[in-house]
């Protein structure tokens, strides 16, 4: 009986541990992302009149931001393992279930690109390509952020060209898909102080200013704060009224106005703040700040699903599993294991007492 009980307890323990692990590390992403769906274009947004484009004729774009792959200096191995596994499983599950035609990552791909050595940079790049692998049916487009090449005062040609070489593209360019033009902006270089990289980027932007539909960049356009931002992925209430610093948290007023005047975009997508926000500039230019994709920066990461045609667009937000939910499941599993262990100990103690009494009774009868 004792051996049988041990086997039963062992099977139950393995079932609880294995079930919790499989749910938290694999299964949880499927029901969460299955709640998401591509928004359908019905009436023009950013265009005029009713849009006759179907979802099939429009671009299905997935937009995420601020993955912040940890580096060799400030990244603890467990923190790195945990956050990167979460992003890899979330991204791969989203690709499998949603099948986007194009994916944009709005900068801060790496956490330590601004100071990493060549050896550490190559290791970070290798991990990125493993995590964000994709089929030939999906195009992956990556923008540069301040953590990739440094803030304006830290960036140089070496770090910028190193980034551009890895992702095989200029950091400021137009990507065209089904007649929709997406402008990718190196917003780190939009300080207007005449630095060589800034001059090069501004010159390129002026050349591209005739072909814009949608603008994507890392830094948000200028806004005073997140005070007007709402929603479950907005900044915490205690942080929403903190004033933003120009050229650090957001672009300067001057740079923001130049971009709006040059391109008159019907939609702007940005990252950097790690929180969601919707802003309407000059009462006609909508900007969406995309929250971070990583648990390291927020408990409820998310990404944007965009259906975009040449004359209109529509957006929806897809939330990932919350880290607190996963922690709660593991804590519950741990509590169950503890209860099972205590119950087993009490049962074994009672069994031993019973056997002792039986043996004692036989001994007395003899």
> Domain map of the chain by residue range?
57-321
pLDDT tens per residue across span 18-43? 888 889 999 999 999 999 999 998 75
For 128, phi then psi, to 5°, come to: -60, -45
List Cα–Cα distances, 185 to 173, 196, 347, 348, in angstroms: 7, 16, 67, 68
Of 73-77, 217-221, 262-266, the least confident: 73-77
Give the pLDDT of residue 216.
Answer: 82
Reported as a single tens digit per residue, the pLDDT across 193-238 is 778 888 888 888 887 876 565 788 888 999 999 998 988 889 999 8
Which pLDDT band, with edges at 50, 70 and 90, does 56 fall under?
Answer: low
* Cα of 143 vs its chain's centroid, Å: 14
Report the range out of 45-59, 211-225, 298-312 with the highest average pLDDT: 298-312
**Percent of all residues in the chain with a pLDDT value above 90, rounded to a whole number:** 46
pLDDT digits (tens, 9 = 90+) for 130-140: 999 999 999 99
The pLDDT assigned to 152 comes to 79
Coil, helix or strand at residue 322: coil
Q: Write down the CATH superfamily of domain 57-321.
A: Metallo-dependent phosphatases (3.60.21.10)
Please state the pTM of the whole predicted model: 0.86
């Amino acid at each position: 009986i004792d051996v049988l009980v041990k086997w039963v307890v062992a099977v139950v323990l393995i079932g609880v541990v294995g079930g919790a692990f499989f749910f938290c590390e694999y299964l949880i992403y499927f029901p969460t992302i299955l709640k998401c769906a591509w928004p359908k274009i019905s009436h023009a947004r950013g265009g005029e009149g009713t849009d006759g484009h179907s979802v099939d004729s429009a671009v299905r774009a997935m937009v995420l931001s601020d993955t912040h792959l940890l580096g060799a200096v400030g990244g603890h191995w467990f923190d790195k393992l945990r956050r990167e596994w979460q992003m890899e499983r979330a991204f791969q599950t989203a690709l499998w279930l949603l099948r986007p035609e194009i994916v944009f990552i709005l900068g801060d791909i790496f956490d330590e690109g601004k100071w990493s050595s060549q050896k550490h940079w190559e290791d970070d790049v290798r991990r990125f390509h493993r995590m964000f692998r994709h089929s030939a049916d999906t195009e992956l487009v990556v923008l540069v952020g301040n953590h990739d090449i440094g803030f304006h005062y830290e960036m140089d040609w070496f770090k910028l060209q190193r980034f551009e070489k890895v992702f095989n593209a200029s950091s400021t360019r137009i990507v065209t898909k089904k007649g929709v033009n997406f402008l990718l902006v190196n917003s780190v270089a939009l300080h207007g102080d005449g630095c060589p990289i800034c001059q090069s980027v501004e010159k390129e932007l002026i050349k591209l200013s005739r072909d814009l539909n949608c603008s994507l960049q890392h830094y948000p356009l200028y806004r005073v704060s997140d005070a007007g931002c709402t929603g479950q992925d907005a900044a915490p209430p205690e942080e929403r009224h903190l004033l933003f610093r120009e050229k650090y948290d957001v672009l300067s007023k001057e740079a923001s106005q130049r971009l709006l005047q040059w391109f008159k975009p019907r939609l702007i997508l940005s990252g950097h703040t790690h929180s969601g926000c919707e802003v309407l500039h000059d009462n006609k230019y909508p900007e969406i700040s995309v929250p971070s994709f990583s648990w390291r920066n927020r408990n409820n990461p998310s990404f944007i699903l965009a259906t975009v045609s040449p004359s209109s667009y529509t957006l929806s937000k897809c939330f990932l599993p919350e880290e607190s939910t996963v922690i709660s499941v593991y804590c519950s599993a741990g509590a169950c294991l503890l209860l099972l262990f205590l119950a087993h100990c009490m049962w074994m103690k009672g069994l031993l007492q019973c056997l002792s009494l039986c043996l004692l009774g036989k001994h007395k009868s003899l």
